[in-house]
């Protein structure tokens, strides 16, 4: 842990310095379509704020790079940054997303590892699709305390999740982000704004619907199909469990009747048997995958809601302007 105390107050916000442009540049250089880019966040914890002051990307490596040690690479990068007096304390990681598709088991496992080692760590999710449409999409997430306990115990059974009251709506908690740029970066942004053409500035007023909505709905339907498959698995488990309970009850009844007959004939009762060995209960399917799918569906629905509300706002504005003219 990079000096982050365990008794610190809960994080109220996450301040980002000089990191946003590096993340965007990383995706533009190495991200292609649905390709996901990831990297390490560096900074420090000040009171109830997590200040992210630097970052560096994970290098893209193929199957030929079997000898590549990712942990060793991170240690060498942080050691090099420390030598040049740059913030080198590990405070989380970042990842790009494709149309908001980031709620997965891989993200859950990675964030649990980070948050278990560094309590204040966060994951920054950068959406290049939304950003390309004119509004920066960057959100910070952490695992909730309830989900952290479940992951520590590795109890993903229906009973364990029900006991902990963990649902898809309370798996992740969003941390507010405050972006602070240096004066040089602000000057650069102003220069870029002055150099932009008039057509680019008016692009946000375009009334045509892009393929964003179509792609989001397609991904949403795919995840609904996955959720349906998980429901089928759980229904199959419930039927098998109910069938086994009936067989067990019938077996005990037959055994009780046979003992009663043996007692009436003066014979000793049947020897005791371990019922659990005769009727091994079926293994319940893990419910964590179902929760993650439900969480991803909820995220897609929020994206569709946000996109459609913006488009409806443009249409009403265009109607009002047309009526005024």
pLDDT tens, 38-81? 999 988 888 888 889 888 888 876 666 666 667 777 778 778 87
pLDDT of residue 6: 45
> Exposed, middle or buried by CB within 10 Å (0-12, 13-18, 19+), for 37?
buried
Residues 291 and 191 in one domain: no
Residues 255 and 110 in one domain: no
Rounded to an integer, what distance in angstroms lies between the CA atom of residue 90 and that of residue 44? Answer: 8
Residues 18 and 90 in one domain: yes
CATH number of the domain encompassing residue 193: 3.40.140.10
- What does each C-alpha distance from 267 to 170, 179, 259 come to in angstroms? 60, 84, 9
CA dihedral 25, 28, 30, 33 (to 10 degrees): 150
Residue 235 lies in a domain: yes
Q: Domain of 173? A: 14-202
Residue 219 lies in a domain: no
Residue 221 lies in a domain: no
Residues 239 and 190 in one domain: no
Residues 230 and 302 in one domain: yes
Residue 304 lies in a domain: yes
Residues 60 and 196 in one domain: yes
What number of CA atoms fall less than 13 Å from residue 172's CA on the CB side? 28
Residues 134 and 232 in one domain: no
Residues 234 and 88 in one domain: no
pLDDT of residue 61: 64
Residues paired with residue 95 on neighbouring β-strands, in sequence order: 38, 125
For residue range 265-294, what is the model confidence (pLDDT) as tens digits?
A: 888 888 887 777 778 888 888 888 899 999
pLDDT of residue 305: 86
Q: Any idea how long the chain is?
A: 325
CB 27 within 8 A of CB 128: yes
User: How many structural domains is the chain composed of?
Assistant: 2
Rounded to an integer, what distance in angstroms lies between the CA atom of residue 289 and that of residue 301? Answer: 18
Residue 171 lies in a domain: yes
Q: What is the pLDDT along the chain (325 residues), one digit of tens a residue?
A: 344 444 455 666 777 777 888 899 999 888 777 788 999 998 888 888 888 988 888 887 666 666 666 777 777 877 887 777 776 688 899 999 988 889 999 999 999 999 998 888 999 999 998 887 777 889 999 999 999 998 888 888 878 888 888 888 889 999 999 888 778 878 887 888 777 665 555 555 666 656 778 888 899 999 999 999 999 998 999 999 999 889 888 888 888 888 888 888 888 888 887 777 778 888 888 888 899 999 999 999 988 888 787 777 777 777 787 777 6
pLDDT of residue 18: 76
Residue 249 lies in a domain: yes
Residues 194 and 253 in one domain: no
Instruction: Give percent of the chain above pLDDT 90.
Output: 24
Residues 90 and 236 in one domain: no
For residue 223, count other CB atoms closer than 10 A to its CB: 20
For residue 4, count other CB atoms closer than 10 A to its CB: 17
Orientation angle between helical segments 288-324 and 212-264, nearest 10 degrees: 150
Residue 218 lies in a domain: no
Residues paired with residue 126 on neighbouring β-strands, in sequence order: 96, 138
Residue 62 lies in a domain: yes
Residues 149 and 30 in one domain: yes
Q: Which residues contact 107 (CB under 8 A, 6 or more apart)?
A: 95, 123
Sheet of strand 38-46: strand arrangement: 172-175, 138-143, 122-126, 90-96, 38-46, 49-57, 13-17, 177-180
Residues 174 and 53 in one domain: yes
pLDDT of residue 142: 93
Rounded to an integer, what distance in angstroms lies between the CA atom of residue 128 and that of residue 126? Answer: 6
Rounded to an integer, what distance in angstroms lies between the CA atom of residue 25 and that of residue 3? Answer: 30
């Amino acid at each position: 842990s990079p000096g982050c105390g365990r008794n610190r107050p809960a994080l109220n916000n996450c301040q980002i310095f000089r990191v946003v442009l590096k993340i965007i540049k990383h995706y533009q250089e190495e991200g292609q379509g649905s390709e996901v880019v990831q990297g390490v966040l560096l900074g420090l914890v000040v009171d109830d704020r997590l200040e992210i002051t630097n970052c560096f990307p994970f290098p893209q490596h193929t199957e030929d790079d079997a000898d590549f040690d990712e942990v060793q690479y991170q240690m060498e990068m942080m050691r090099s940054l420390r030598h040049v007096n740059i913030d080198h304390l590990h405070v989380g990681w970042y990842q790009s997303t494709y149309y908001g598709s980031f709620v997965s088991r891989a993200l859950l496992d990675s964030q649990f590892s980070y948050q278990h080692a560094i309590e204040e760590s966060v994951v920054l999710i950068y959406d290049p699709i939304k950003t390309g449409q004119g509004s920066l999409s960057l959100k910070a997430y952490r695992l909730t305390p309830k989900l952290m306990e479940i992951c520590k115990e590795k109890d993903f059974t229906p009973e364990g999740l029900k006991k902990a009251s963990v649902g898809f709506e309370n798996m992740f908690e969003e941390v507010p982000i405050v972006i602070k740029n240096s004066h040089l970066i602000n000057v650069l942004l102003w220069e870029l704004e002055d150099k932009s053409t008039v057509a680019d500035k008016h692009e946000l007023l375009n009334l045509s619907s892009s393929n964003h909505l179509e792609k989001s709905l397609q991904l949403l339907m795919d995840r609904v199909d996955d959720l349906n498959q998980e429901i089928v698995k759980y229904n199959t488990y419930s039927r098998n469990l109910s069938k086994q309970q009936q067989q067990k009850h019938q077996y005990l009844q037959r055994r009780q009747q046979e003992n009663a007959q043996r007692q009436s004939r003066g014979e000793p009762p049947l020897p005791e048997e371990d019922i659990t060995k005769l009727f091994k209960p079926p293994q319940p399917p893990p419910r964590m995958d179902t929760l993650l799918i439900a969480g991803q569906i909820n995220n897609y629905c929020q994206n569709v809601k946000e996109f459609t509300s913006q488009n409806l706002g443009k249409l009403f504005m265009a109607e009002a302007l047309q009526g005024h003219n």
